[in-house]
Structure 1
Amino acid sequence: MLPTTNLVWIALTAIVYLGGSFAALPSSIKVCSRNDPELSRCVIEAVNDLRPRLATGKISDQFQIPPLEPLALATVNMDRGAEL
Structure 2
Amino acid sequence: MGPDYDKYRPLLDEFNLADDKKDEFIDVMWALLDSFVARAHGTDAVQKVVDKQRDKTSETDSDDVKSDEITMISELNNE
Same fold (TM over 0.5): no
TM-score (norm 2): 0.34
Question: Could you say which structure has the larger radius of gyration?
Answer: 1
Structure with greater helix percent? 2
Q: Higher RCO, 1 or 2 (CA under 8 Å, sep at least 6)?
A: 2
TM-score (norm 1): 0.33
